[in-house]
Amino acid sequence: MIYNDVIFGSVSSTDFEIKKNELAARLNAGFDFENELLNKCINEFKKAATYRYAYIRVPISITNDICDFGFATVKSASLSRVLCDSKEAFIMAVSTGIEVDRLITKLYLKNDPSAFFIDAIGSAAVESLADHINDKICKNLSTTNRFSPGYADFPLEFQKDLLSRINANQTVGITLSEKLMMTPMKSITAIIGIK
């Protein structure tokens, strides 16, 4: 079952760009770094990746650093600061899919250095995808920055409640390991306050 208020779907690789600054940061390289192998890897990544998202819009209330989202509460001073002017929030998750994990594993096995490139491209792509969905849903609204479980004192444990509330297993294809790591690797969850 998927809760009635969850919006989900997918976008295509032509709907958004993998941001150059994100890529440069991940590769530990200059902003204008380019080479043949990198371009080849970007193509290979795009063949493997899918771009799925899910989100909900919920009312929130905050008292004494405890944020109440209706379906769960969480204590975090930093999150409370971000959301202090918000009465509602978007809760979102995005992922570039499991095929990317398989591709990276395979390339490592072959001792192929493009594994490192694809890994970096994946990180940059999922961040860019999160930006894209963020922009799309926040259009014409006044919103806060994105804030994710694991940032500052926002406990990673919140992933459990967050992912199950948006039925991420079915809608985006994300599951959580016992140690709270997301599969696929290149996945992002976040909360955005609506002011």
Q: How far is the CB of 108 from another protein (least distance, A)?
A: 6
Contact with another protein (CB under 8 A) among 43, 63, 64, 178: 178
Contact with another protein (CB under 8 A) among 40, 106, 135, 195: 106
Binding segment toward another protein, per CB under 8 A, in 13-21, 74-82, 127-135, 161-169: 161-169
**Residue found under tokens 């998927």:** 2
Contact with another protein (CB under 8 A) among 132, 146, 165, 186: 165
Rule CB under 8 A: is residue 185 a binding residue for another protein?
yes
Q: What is the dihedral of CA 32, 35, 38, 39, to 10 degrees?
A: 90
Residues 24-63 that bind another protein (CB under 8 A): 27-30, 33, 35, 37-38, 50, 52, 56-58
Q: How far is the CB of 165 from another protein (least distance, A)?
A: 5
Please say which residue, 82 or 101, places its beta carbon nearer to another protein.
Answer: 101
Helix axes 36-48, 114-138, angle to 10 degrees: 60
CB atoms within 10 A of CB 61: 13
- The site string for another protein over 63-92 (x = CB under 8 A, - otherwise) reads -------xxx--------------------
Q: How far is the CB of 29 from another protein (least distance, A)?
A: 3
Contact with another protein (CB under 8 A) among 63, 64, 111, 140: 111
* Per-position b or e across 98-135, b if 16+ CB within 10 A of its CB: bebbebbeebeeeeeebbebbbbbbbbbbbbbbbbbbe
Rule CB under 8 A: is residue 110 a binding residue for another protein?
yes
Spatial CB neighbours of 152, under 8 Å, sequence gap ≥ 6: 76, 77, 78, 79
**64, two tokens:** 């004494």
Q: How many residues bind another protein (CB under 8 A)?
A: 61
